[in-house]
Structure 1
Amino acid sequence: MWGAPAGRIPAAYAAAGRRAVPVTVVAATGFLLFRYGLGLPVAATYALFSAVALGGLSKIPGTGRQRAATALRALPVCWLLVIVGTWLSVRTWSAVAGMLIVGFALAFSAVGGPRPAGTAPGLQLLYILPSFPPYDPGSLGERLIGTTTGLALLIAAEALILPEPPPRSYRERASRAVRTAAHCATLLAAPPYALTGKAGEDAREAGAELRPLTVPEAERPAGPGLRHRALAHTGLATRTLLSRLARLTTPPGDGDQGPRVTAVLRAVANLSTATADSLGSGPEPVAAHADLVAARARLAATSAGPVPAVAGAASGPGPPVLPPAVLRRHAAVLEIADAALAMATAADLAVRGRRVAVPVPPGRFWYARSRAPRLWWYRMRGHAGRRSVFFQNAVRIALALTAARLVAGVDTLPHGFWATLATLTLTRTTMDETWSTIRRALGGTLAGALLSAGLLALVGAHTEIYAAVLPLWMLLAFTLGPVKGVGWAQGLFTVLVALVFAQLAPPTWRLAEVRLLDVLVGSMIGAVFGLLAWPRGAHDELRRAAAELLRRAAEIVVATSADVAAGRPAAATPLEVSGHRSLHQAVILAESAYAQFQSEPTLFGGQGRGAPLPGVDWQAALIAGHHTLWGSERLLEPPPVPLGPAAAESAGGLGDRVAGRMLLVSAALDPGCDTPAALVPRLDPALAGFGAEPPGAPRLYYATVAWLSALMTDLARIPRAGPAPGPATTTAAPARNTP
């Protein structure tokens, strides 16, 4: 926050203070009640650290009520961690093994979304606390009493003290965006069949509101469950629909788009309105969904192209031969209909789960009939590999915590709990950030140790003074620490630790010395494992994941274009085809790496091999992956339609050229490639072949060209800066050093 504008500082303090008050009230009340009221020092310690764990160390997103609900669901896990930690602590080898397994499991739980990720550090603390002296399984009952009391008071305080207004939910955002799509479709269904400037701007703003980075963390649909997946799918489909509506051009020729096109756009508007109502707990959009399916089928039949002859069938007049400009518009309108149907289906799944009322096609909605355990298994299996940033983070923190516990057990480090806690709180996902954090933390700890030593020497054994100062200092620490940064947080927490332990054992100024030693040991352990285990965090992994995504997408582009050119339908649903499954997995890994990349500061200098390439629009690469999957599925729907020799050659050639450009961008993004990392190819989205009109080409040809053109637009957006080159050429623009 040091560089924050002056106007934002008071808001930051207000937000930190709002979160600090419940934690301070609960931690101080529980500690003082058990320590002085009931004479139970062990319960006092656990009551205090339970509140600090889930209220201070954890970064649970959301309002107080949302945090209270998350803490309530985590209560059984907290009991289990205290029990397991107590019983495994009696021997060093069992404590070390437990730290490795539990540390990895808790850190890896971040695959479940922002709430498990935010809760994990606090749960780690609740396991670390009973893993250190005194090794007394006989005090387990008192430990559980303190833990339960502290967490129960925290849940009540979070829900009742200083309540916060809830932000708009993702469903509300999606409902607003869908209504915007309905308005756009209504305008396009009536003369002059075009969007006004304001409508286009509203469509762009509504789509931007659904981007994950613009949504509060607690409201992002990032979990592995059915409803979260469906709600995220709703957002993607809605953004796609808004984009396609905004790109629809005016009708060719005399400006009349035809009754069947108008019927489809009106059906899209009606379905969008019904979907928005459904997202607001209204009725299912069943009738509107069926109307759009019927209107889409009529338009598709109008411009389907030549029908293959069947032996023994009577010959009759085929569909009318339409001009290429009309076929292009039909293809664009059918894409709009496809996006609207996907949006409505996903929204119904998000609202009603497996009780969905609208038809759910396989492939794109593969998760619709799966139970929660199976979806969790898919999520964990998808990230159980060294290319996942979730896996990397879990390995890094588990090894660091295990090493800290081993050092504390073998060397009998005084207050080894503090060393392990320092390892937990100071280890970051990149080496540069870890070193920067450690430098500031050690400076803050030294200042806090000097202040603590003076306080302990001055006050001595007058515990009533420590008890009086504790709540005030706690409020100060939990308010200033999150705003001022890790240096202030460590310094204030060092004094807080001294105030607490001075009331549990005879105080001495050497307590501050031990605290400084433990933080030094813990930070060095974190630094070592930060250096050994993926020291560049998500920077390299994002480049590698995006490069792999584009390589997989290029394979699918080539295969799909070849199948369309040959008139072959898909042999199975897309996610059952190995290429589509591989691309789906690549999209998942790239999205998780991108999410972590957004939280990591850009601390690297230069643009040599392995640089983070902050001048790249990673979101465009992710969207290219989604568009590849969705377009391939749509184009390969049976029945097959022969394109004719000229159209088949054109479609296959365009597919090869688009795939080649995907591979060109992929090579520049890949940190393991010999291509200079500073050069990000900038492409012209308009390939020469996109304007070709082969004689007798059916609408499927123009749908294929539209898909390939959209992919080229995505590729052209990946480099953020630099002028576009001439047609059908590529240049290399240096990536910027600023995000």
Structure 2
Amino acid sequence: MGADPDGGNRGGRAGPTGPRGPLDPRGPHWLRRLRGPGPKALAARRAVRTTLAACVGFYLCLYGLDDSVAATYALFGAVSMAALSHIPGTGPQRAAVLVWTLPVAWVLVTAGTYLAVRTWSAVLGVLVIGFAVAFVAAAGPKAAGASPGLQLLYILPCFPPYLPDTLGSRLAGATLGIVLLILAEAFLLPERRDTSYARLVARASATAARCTAELDRPPYALSPAATEAARAAGESLRPSLVAEAERPAGPGLRERALAHAGLAARTLLARLARLTPPAGPRPPQGPLDLLAAAGRAVAETSAKLSGTAQEGRAVGTEAADALRQARREATAQDPPLSTSAVLRRRAALLEVADVTAALATAADLALRGRAAAPSKDEPGRFWYARKRAPQLWWHRLAGHAGPRSVYFQNAVRIGLALAAARTVAGLDSLPHGFWAMLAALTLTRTTVAQTRTSVRQALTGTLIGALVAGVVLATVAGHTTVYAVALPFVMLVAFSVGPVRGVGWAQGMFTVVVSLVFAQLAPATWQLAEVRILDVVIGSLIGMVFGLLAWPRGAQRELRRSASVLLRTAAKTVEDTTAAVVAARPADAPDDEPLQHALIMAESAFAQYQSEPREHTGPVADWQAVLMTGHHVLWGSRRLLARSGPAFDPEAAAWADTHAAGVADGLRRAPAPPGAEPAPGAPYGPAAPELGPPLFFAAAIWLDALTADLTRMAAVDRVTSGSAGR
């Protein structure tokens, strides 16, 4: 035979390329598919990790240590935090979350063990703990993902018999299962991490730097290609387009700062795209130098966030510091008398400089934490920079402690459903009653329509799974070796198929899994499957009842209400800020705390809305644009009130009041379906006067930018429901 061109052998012997072709250094075909992209491969990888951790812990405790209690908790400890929880991210990212959940698991297992002494204490415990664990979802996607698994770690020990002397075995088993899962997540089947939010902000900052360079040379305007690049870079920072594990949604300082940097980058790109060319030839010095300074500062910020610069002060904050100094000097200087166009551009450049400085500060905070906290004379936009973690957590949770928060609504719904299921299980002495609570936990959705659909599918799947389990239990009887051999394979299939095929498959396969588990813990008959059906039916009915009684529409209606509150509050802020600036009395402007709170409520409702099926009957709004408008109102108000200047002359005051009234009226009517809003590009009020104090043109630029935001919202209102996910 001739030699293979690839260096192998065409005969039957296995050469360097193997008998059927070249050997892939990534491993055999099935391993490559397991490591590949897509939801099926992802579910398979997680199923392998879950099965390995759960079965190793279960078999070690049951057959090695002869401790059935520890075996139960080892298995359910791993299953609860892997299969029941939905922690986003790669294996190492989930392992990091599991490390800090381990002490919480100890507290929950201990509380459940001691509160099981009476039915009333167990019910009260599950009501309070169920609410608290669910409410922590307000802290972000990672905490929300871990919440269902932590609920199970309290549910499992809160049932009779009351055996506090087994607490040691329970804690040891749960710890073993979670530790094995941490190791499996960290080291088994590594995954490629999604692009981090810091790197996305770095890319957007680099785009902004290129835009400033283009704006700083003739013809002093962005080309269509640069405008499109700026738009795309801003869109890439939309939370809905960012991997869930990479969204900076947590309450900590660095997460807040990174989210702040993303908003600043989007704002900067939008402002650069709207920057008009200078009137006449470019002057050699003056405020236009702010553009070059902003370009250097944003390029410096991009280098730091992308990791291409060294850590620490040596990274270079010189460009950002120089920009801040140039901004202060330009703000303090009275501009020479000139045309309205020149003064407007000067104000626009000052706004670009301000947003760039905010971006640089937020990026420093995200990288270096409290060490990068700005001086106390900085505007209050970085209020969180000097706060410690407990204060920031309290601020986040306290902000959602009310019936208008979707996190509060979800926590109430879950707490009441679990308490009702525990009451029924305790009063009726329901065998394996925790299955009823588990069904209530896993099948209760944020809308009654979702709950009804999930219950129907779950009952069908459970019935089929119970029939299969009943046949297996009746056939195999007491031969536990068969159950022990079959469990890993069934578990692997269950956790691979369930997440991909839906709740019906998940419930059906899980019914077979738990039947094989409990058949090894104690003698079992086909009636175990019957009990499983009864428990799931009871839990499902309870979930449906509380899904119907407690905020059945989920975030669908709450988002529109929260957005309306946000825009009404923003309108009041626009009017009050303009009045205070016109009269040169910034102290008369009210506190912006209501606007901050309205933003928090709207953002949380939008986050939940993205995970729910759409219920559209007409035009839809770009809710992300609504949120961005709220931030623009807040930031612009603070920026204007932080500056000082003389009162406006009557002509400038009349124009500013008219413009502010038009913007406020538009905010109050948005995001209603279009009709009364002006056509894109139509201004509110008369043309601006040619002359005025510097603060007048700063206010004019702010109001013009909000006009553009209103136009954007009105335009999106005209689209169909196909863009609802924006």
C-alpha distance 738-157 of structure 1, shift in aligned 2 (>3 A): closer
SS in 2 for 1:322: coil
Which residue number in structure 2 is paired with residue 507 of structure 1? 524
Contact 2:629 2:709 in 1 (8 A): yes
Contact 2:662 2:685 in 1 (8 A): no
TM-score (norm 1): 0.89
Which residue number in structure 2 is paired with residue 296 of structure 1? 327
Which residue number in structure 2 is paired with residue 399 of structure 1? 416
Deviations 1:17-53 (A, max 9, x none): 0111010011111112222222211111111000001
2:534 to 513, 517, 528: 517
Which residue number in structure 1 is paired with residue 696 of structure 2? 701
Deviations 1:653-706 (A, max 9, x none): 11112111212226x4xxxxxxxxx77865435444566132532343232222
Which residue number in structure 2 is paired with residue 486 of structure 1? 503
C-alpha distance 539-30 of structure 1, shift in aligned 2 (>3 A): same
SS in 1 for 2:324: helix
Structure 1 unaligned segments of length 5 or more: list them. Answer: 1-7, 305-318, 608-612, 669-677, 724-732
SS in 2 for 1:249: coil
C-alpha distance 481-10 of structure 1, shift in aligned 2 (>3 A): farther
Aligned partners of 1:194 and 1:73: how far apart in 2?
A: 51
Which residue number in structure 2 is paired with residue 316 of structure 1? none
C-alpha distance 242-571 of structure 1, shift in aligned 2 (>3 A): same
Which residue number in structure 2 is paired with residue 533 of structure 1? 550
2:245 to 210, 218, 240: 218
SS in 1 for 2:230: helix
Equivalent position amino acid for 2:49 in 1: P
Deviations 1:581-635 (A, max 9, x none): 1011000000000000000012x4646xxxxx6x111111111110111111122
Q: Give % identity.
A: 55
C-alpha distance 376-83 of structure 1, shift in aligned 2 (>3 A): same
208-217 or 490-499, larger mean C-alpha shift:
208-217
C-alpha displacement of 1:59: 0.6
Alignment of 1:84 with 2:111, yes or no, is: yes
SS in 2 for 1:36: helix
Contact 1:452 1:494 in 2 (8 A): yes
Contact 2:340 2:690 in 1 (8 A): no
650-659 or 132-141, larger mean C-alpha shift:
132-141
Which residue number in structure 2 is paired with residue 625 of structure 1? 630
C-alpha distance 390-33 of structure 1, shift in aligned 2 (>3 A): same
Alignment of 1:269 with 2:302, yes or no, is: no
Number of aligned residue pairs: give it: 685
Contact 2:491 2:513 in 1 (8 A): yes
Alignment of 1:338 with 2:354, yes or no, is: yes
C-alpha distance 475-633 of structure 1, shift in aligned 2 (>3 A): same
Aligned partners of 2:515 and 2:584: how far apart in 1?
A: 76
C-alpha distance 680-85 of structure 1, shift in aligned 2 (>3 A): farther
Contact 1:647 1:695 in 2 (8 A): no
Contact 2:461 2:505 in 1 (8 A): yes
C-alpha displacement of 1:62: 1.1
C-alpha displacement of 1:520: 0.4
Alignment of 1:379-390 (within 5 A): 379-390=396-407
Contact 1:264 1:292 in 2 (8 A): yes
Which residue number in structure 2 is paired with residue 374 of structure 1? 391
C-alpha distance 83-176 of structure 1, shift in aligned 2 (>3 A): same
Alignment of 1:108 with 2:135, yes or no, is: yes
Which residue number in structure 2 is paired with residue 550 of structure 1? 567
Which residue number in structure 2 is paired with residue 726 of structure 1? none
Contact 1:71 1:155 in 2 (8 A): yes
C-alpha displacement of 1:114: 1.1
Contact 1:364 1:630 in 2 (8 A): yes
Contact 2:681 2:711 in 1 (8 A): no
Deviations 1:440-493 (A, max 9, x none): 111111111111111111111111111111000000000000000001000100
Aligned partners of 1:131 and 1:358: how far apart in 2?
A: 49
Aligned partners of 1:500 and 1:402: how far apart in 2?
A: 26
Alignment of 1:429 with 2:424, yes or no, is: no
2:706 to 686, 690, 711: 711
Alignment of 1:196 with 2:223, yes or no, is: yes
Deviations 1:33-91 (A, max 9, x none): 22222221111111100000111111111111111111111111111111110111121
Which residue number in structure 2 is paired with residue 44 of structure 1? 71
2:150 to 123, 141, 148: 123
SS in 2 for 1:44: helix
Equivalent position amino acid for 1:428 in 2: R
C-alpha distance 513-682 of structure 1, shift in aligned 2 (>3 A): farther
Structure 2 unaligned segments of length 5 or more: list them. Answer: 1-34
Alignment of 1:63-462 (within 5 A): 63-252=90-279, 254-256=280-282, 259-279=285-305, 280=307, 281-284=310-313, 285-301=316-332, 304=334, 319-356=335-372, 359=375, 361-462=378-479
C-alpha displacement of 1:436: 0.6
Aligned partners of 2:694 and 2:163: how far apart in 1?
A: 76
Contact 1:568 1:640 in 2 (8 A): no
C-alpha displacement of 1:112: 1.2
SS in 2 for 1:120: helix
Deviations 1:385-439 (A, max 9, x none): 0000010000000000000001000111121010000000000000000001101
453-462 or 390-399, larger mean C-alpha shift:
453-462
- Name the Cα RMSD after superposition: 2.1
Which residue number in structure 1 is paired with residue 664 of structure 2? 659
Equivalent position amino acid for 1:427 in 2: T
